[in-house]
Structure 1
């Protein structure tokens, strides 16, 4: 029987391991569970002799020395998102298979983006604000619809693909800016490709780029000034991707609407004008954080690990070494 080390605190294990996943682990592996101490030595001790290491948020970076003798774990299963701070990519070159639950988290993020678009399109925060202040219907205020509208998506990441799937019933004209998205893949997704400026001419704009040098400052002040009046901007990816100050200025003067889940820096420090703005939806980096989503994470990567161990199949959570430079 293969050996698996759960290298996360008991509290995190309760967060990302459903009862069904725990039963699966017990059935298929000889399992070692970490305690609250996740010191480098403890991590090394747990990993030693294990075939699979199951990690999550709070797991310290895995020292490449764990694989120095050539007998380290065959697979790392990360029940969380990005693995860039967890592993040294050199272990990929040694044939270690790495799996990330980022593609499962993407569905949670996609739902957040869809909810944000609908919430702002219908002007729900503003109606809510008016009612709480003793008002009723506002003759000058009327919500709009998402159906049939142009949606510009920046980056064809897994979160973008989840949103594209969720948008299908709305019959939107979806245009994607991503230098790495081929015409063939765009056709499979049912979207069309465009340059950055064209994508930003949409009524709805959703940002899904990784935090790499090429994407920092991607949406400049000039581009924000060119956004259509009353456009709705959703950023659930990384704060540095957009000129945050310029976006807020255009929201405060009433020209634009925005849903922000990420910031530059985090946590942000906003003045009372921003905090009171009814055309801003502000959340604390929780787009991918749901009860159901978290409980599914360990099972999501373990299912793929088992398929890989049994049949060599690379499932949807497999981290392709070829795309490491542009991965989130």
Structure 2
């Protein structure tokens, strides 16, 4: 496998750029300021967007043949060797979203195509969602809201919620990914103890983060909230399984904004049915739970449809990041956030 070589023009230029992403995505991703900037930086027609390569829309084949840079986002079609053969000028992929694993293939790395990702920009809203989930979980907001809706009468809430609150609680972060590190940063103003499990983090790095590095079993047993931020790779499938869930204290909450495959859902549902644990789940396996899944109805579950990441106005932040990278490329500079082939084995 060849490592990517970031080929760059020797002087500032306006590279030819083709957009490649899901239908309707370009209109959401690029507001008028982003469109204006894209047209200043590159030779492109933002109306020409590649949604698929086997049946390209008008102008896509010609644009691909001329493209020096692909500007991609969610739903980008896969860049196979055959597609690359039709793109002889292609030198870079600028991805206005997180993971590039869905469309950047080994053929891209073998050809030395430079790749950039806006994973850092997308990490922020996920971390913000996670922060809210952690603070609400320790406050037992989901339980209080459900009980309030049921009782609809005066009640001794101080007694029922005795022991709730964020002061002095312990939060376990599984995975020091971009998002996991962002969550740690956002937790710093609060009186919380933070544990971390990540086999790639040493004591020195943990010290810089201000967390306690512990084994996964110790993290699960000692945390009031366990939040999952590890990448989806074969080694992390069901990383949080029956044993880990059984170790979590009564009343603890599992937060998953990573990927559904990291949690053994059958084991989790058993714990949730018993009422011993609660969960905040933005991802599941399958991505859309079956219509009769108990996750929709259990009162101790907050289930959301994979919305922790960028949406609405937050999409423009990813676009701005990608445009910054495109500008660096046009100026002959290396990407600020390159994706490295050798790091893909333990990243999202």
Fold in common (TM above 0.5): yes
- Deviation, structure 1 residue 273: 5.5
Report the equivalent of 1:189: 209
1:226 matched to 2:243? The reply is no
Report the equivalent of 1:178: 198
- Deviation, structure 1 residue 233: 0.9
Q: Which runs of 5+ in 1 are unaligned?
A: none
Distance 1:67 1:276, change over 3 A: closer
- Partner of 2:93: helix, strand, or coil? strand
- Partner of 1:107: helix, strand, or coil? helix
Which of these residues, 324, 332, 336, is aligned with residue 315 of structure 1?
336
Which of these residues, 150, 162, 165, is aligned with residue 145 of structure 1?
165
- Deviation, structure 1 residue 109: 0.7
Report the equivalent of 1:126: 143
- Partner of 1:258: helix, strand, or coil? strand
Which of these residues, 300, 304, 312, is aligned with residue 291 of structure 1?
312
Which of these residues, 177, 181, 186, is aligned with residue 166 of structure 1?
186
Distance 1:145 1:228, change over 3 A: same
Which of these residues, 53, 59, 62, is aligned with residue 70 of structure 2?
53
| Aligned mates of 1:280, 1:261 — CA distance in 2 | 11
Deviations 1:199-255 (A, max 9, x none): 212111100112111000111212211111211110111112112122222222222
Which of these residues, 272, 280, 302, is aligned with residue 281 of structure 1?
302
Comparing 33-42 and 88-97, the one that deviates more: 33-42
- Deviation, structure 1 residue 272: 7.7
Report the equivalent of 2:93: 76
Which of these residues, 118, 124, 128, is aligned with residue 107 of structure 1?
124
- Deviation, structure 1 residue 268: 0.9
| Aligned mates of 1:195, 1:308 — CA distance in 2 | 42
| Aligned mates of 2:265, 2:309 — CA distance in 1 | 21
Distance 1:177 1:132, change over 3 A: same
| Aligned mates of 2:117, 2:22 — CA distance in 1 | 18
1:13 matched to 2:26? The reply is yes
- Deviation, structure 1 residue 16: 1.0
Contact 2:257/2:282, CA 8 A, preserved across alignment: yes
Deviations 1:256-308 (A, max 9, x none): 12101111222112658643433211111111143222122222122123224
Aligned residues: 327
Deviations 1:73-92 (A, max 9, x none): 22111122221111213322
Which of these residues, 289, 303, 306, is aligned with residue 324 of structure 2?
303
Comparing 305-314 and 97-106, the one that deviates more: 305-314
Distance 1:91 1:177, change over 3 A: same
Contact 2:137/2:225, CA 8 A, preserved across alignment: no
Deviations 1:162-184 (A, max 9, x none): 11111111142222111112333
Q: Which runs of 5+ in 2 are unaligned?
A: 1-13
| Aligned mates of 1:309, 1:171 — CA distance in 2 | 46
Contact 1:151/1:175, CA 8 A, preserved across alignment: yes
Distance 1:172 1:309, change over 3 A: farther
Report the equivalent of 2:7: none
Distance 1:250 1:69, change over 3 A: closer
